[in-house]
Amino acid sequence: MSSRSTHSRVRQRAFTLIEMLVVMIIVAMVVTLIVQGFGYTLGLYQRVVKSQNNAYQQVFAYHWLNSSLSAPVAMRPKDRGLEGDARRVATYTYQPLLAKQGLKTLVQWELAENAGQLVLSYREGSSYFPVYQWLDARGQFEYMDEQGQWVNRWPIQKSDNLPLPKAMRILITSGRDSFNYVVKVDTRLRAEVTSDEVMYGRD
């Protein structure tokens, strides 16, 4: 009788150990899934934060670009006006980024390739700084003429009273992504020229 009870207790203990092993395996699988899920979530969060930072930087870059290029000064006789090609644009503006607002200031925006990156930079006087950069990208400045056509050089032809373009834009191609930053010119496209300015210039 005692022998049978001993065998039953042994069987009961062995069954309990198997249950514990099964539970431990299940717990290990659950922990593994949780860790993998946490790692995926953390990676997704980091990608979202990086994407948001890039978006904020692009917004700031466009804001600075729009602020300085939307208020150019139309050229008058013996006075320099807006000049640009596919890589750079230079103009006098009433809204410089560094100097006092409303003060006519010469500024310049540039697109240059540097170590596999396309860099958009700003120059004002002796100050120069990069504003934004795209990896493995191509880009160019374009200018809208009076007929609404985009051209890659301004002025199109020589004249004594050159108009400003109606708008300017930067076209960026980076992999499968394309960006189109358009700046509408809000100031007068042609300067009001007096007879004295025609004869003697502005100064």
Q: Would you put residue 201 in left (φ > 0), alpha (ψ -120 to 50) or beta?
A: left
Which sequence spans correspond to the domains of the chain? Answer: 1-203
Q: Are 138 and 173 in contact (CB under 8 A)?
A: yes
Burial of 98-130, coded b for 16+ CB within 10 Å and e otherwise, reads ebeeeeebebbbbbeeeeeebbbbbebeeeeee
DSSP single-letter state for residue 74: P
SS3 159: coil
**Residue 176 DSSP one-character state:** T
* Distance separating alpha carbons of residues 174 and 180, to the nearest angstrom: 12
Each of the 203 residues of the chain gets a pLDDT tens digit; together they read 555 555 555 455 555 777 778 878 888 888 888 887 777 776 666 666 666 667 778 888 899 999 999 999 887 766 678 999 999 999 999 899 999 988 889 999 999 998 889 999 999 999 999 999 888 899 999 999 989 999 999 988 776 567 899 999 999 998 888 889 999 999 888 777 555 455 555 44
Instruction: Give the Å distances, CA to CA, from 1 to 7, 8, 10, 74.
Output: 10, 11, 15, 113
d(CA 160, CA 78): 8
pTM: 0.70
Look up residue 173 and give its two tokens.
Answer: 């191609």
Residue whose C-alpha is closest to residue 167's, from 59, 66, 90, 58: 66
